[in-house]
Amino acid sequence: MECMLQVSTCQSFGTDCKELIAMTKDPGAWPSFSTELEEFMKLKARFSEFSIVFVPRQENVSSDSLAKIARSFHRELYYIGCSVPVWFPRLLQA
């Protein structure tokens, strides 16, 4: 999210994690995540317009595949862009 501030302060994010949506709507109900949610709220406040919505995996197969590939790298992987990285299709075919 922080990197997206460099692109625009008006952003909409999608996630297939229903728990994340619930946490952002009622942070007090998730005390074990209070530190992370506090940081999230501070970051969210820096956006002039912000939304986070639930997107089922079956409706966003490309993002789900990219997330699975990223986890296989066993290190932090950052990619911010409006297009699919050139290496992505090759990894899907492997």
* Confidence band for 22, pLDDT divided at 50, 70 and 90: very high
Domain ranges of the chain: 1-55, 56-94
pLDDT score for 36: 93
* Helix or strand run (H / E) with residue 89: helix 87-93
Which residues are CB-neighbours of 2 under 8 A, at least 6 positions away? 43
| Strands of the chain, DSSP E | 10-15, 49-54
52, 37 contact by CB (below 8 A) = no
Could you read off the pLDDT of 39-71 as tens digits, one per residue? 999 999 999 998 999 988 888 887 777 778 777
Burial 60-80 (b: 16+ CB within 10 A, else e): eeeeeebeebeeeeeeeeeee
Taking the model in full, what pTM does it have?
0.62
